[in-house]
């Protein structure tokens, strides 16, 4: 498998490139608008053809490259069935798979950070979007966020994956790049709660400031990032 983890320093976003083999198909997960040229160059260098650009959810902290990549490479663009983005060409739902040659990513619906948040599972790793971060979890105070739904997504879905499953989140702000389900169960401070209600109370007490780019990024991302190119 070809696997690359790319970092956008402006928004601390991780973008993932996945392909089964050189000469074959590729998928980009959570690409950032400003880095489109870098992605296109890397795809060429690795000799893979982008067939699918995917967002785990509508991001509030950066503009997506989905629309730009579609223009540049003619790839399909995908978000979940719960997304309000009408610009995408593919909509997935839990139980389906995203296929890139023989790679099959199982789709999990993991709402909480937003109501359109999804995670993607390969046999040895999971892409958790902003649902499960390394030593953290995504905030639940805007875009129809719901701490109770997030608890259910975490404890009934993601944390039930095998403990040695690698965790690749959509962001990290402290330089952590990868974790495992077992490591997060043991050391993630947000997960050390006695009950669902305790998790809800914890999230409701965070009192975070709104992301700087929210008023620009959310409307732009509903249109696959192409609004900002105007």
Q: Encoding tokens for residue 176?
A: 């952590």
User: Smallest gap, in angstroms, from Cβ of residue 187 to Fe ion?
Assistant: 22
Q: Is 20 in the site for Fe ion (CB under 5 A)?
A: no
Residue 37 main-chain phi, psi, to 5 deg: -60, -40
* φ/ψ (deg, to 5) at 47: 60, 50
Q: How far is the CB of 21 from Fe ion (least distance, A)?
A: 31
Please say whether the beta carbons of 106 and 121 come within 8 A: yes
| CB nearer to Fe ion: pick between 36 and 114 | 114
Residues 6+ apart with CB under 8 A from 185: 159, 163, 191
Q: How far apart are CA 36 and CA 63, in angstroms?
A: 11
Tell me how far, at minimum, the Cβ of 185 lies from Fe ion, in Å: 22
Residues from 118 through 137 that contact Fe ion (CB under 5 A): 130
Does residue 184 bind Fe ion (CB under 5 A)? no
- Whose CB is nearest to Fe ion? 130
Looking up tokens 């953290």, which residue turns up? 136
**Which residue, 128 or 179, is less far from Fe ion as judged by CB?**
128
CA–CA distance, 77 with 27 (Å, rounded to integer)? 10
Which lies closer to Fe ion via its Cβ, residue 118 or residue 199? 118
Q: Which is nearer to Fe ion, 51 or 53 (CB)?
A: 53
Report how many residues bind Fe ion under the rule CB under 5 A: 1
How far apart are alpha carbons 156 and 207 in whole angstroms?
A: 26
Looking only at residues 24 through 63 of this chain, which bind Fe ion when binding is defined by CB under 5 A? none
Q: How far is the CB of 138 from Fe ion (least distance, A)?
A: 6
For Fe ion, the closer CB: 25 or 130: 130
Least distance (Å) between residue 117 CB and Fe ion: 8
State how beta strands 103-109 and 90-92 pair.
Answer: unpaired
Interface residues toward Fe ion, by CB under 5 A = 130
């Amino acid at each position: 498998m070809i696997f690359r983890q790319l970092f956008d320093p402006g928004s601390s976003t991780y973008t993932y490139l996945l392909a089964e083999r050189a000469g074959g198909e590729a998928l980009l997960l959570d690409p950032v608008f400003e880095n489109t040229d870098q992605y296109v160059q890397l795809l060429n260098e690795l000799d893979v053809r982008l067939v699918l650009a995917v967002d785990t959810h509508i991001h509030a902290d950066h503009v997506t490259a989905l629309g730009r990549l579609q223009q540049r490479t003619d790839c399909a663009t995908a978000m979940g069935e719960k997304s309000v983005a009408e610009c995408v060409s593919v909509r997935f739902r839990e139980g389906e798979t995203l296929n890139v040659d023989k790679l099959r990513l199982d789709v999990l619906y993991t709402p909480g950070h937003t109501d359109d948040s999804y995670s993607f599972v390969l046999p040895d790793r999971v892409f958790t979007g902003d649902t499960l971060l390394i030593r953290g979890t995504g905030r639940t105070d805007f875009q129809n966020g719901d701490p109770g739904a997030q608890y259910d997504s975490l404890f009934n879905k993601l944390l039930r994956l095998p403990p040695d499953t690698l965790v690749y989140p959509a962001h990290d702000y402290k330089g952590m790049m990868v974790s495992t389900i077992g490591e997060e169960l043991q050391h993630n401070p947000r997960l050390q709660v006695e009950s669902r209600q305790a998790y809800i109370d914890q999230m409701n007490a965070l009192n975070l400031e709104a992301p700087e780019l929210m008023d620009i990024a959310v409307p732009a991302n509903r249109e696959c990032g192409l609004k900002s190119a105007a």
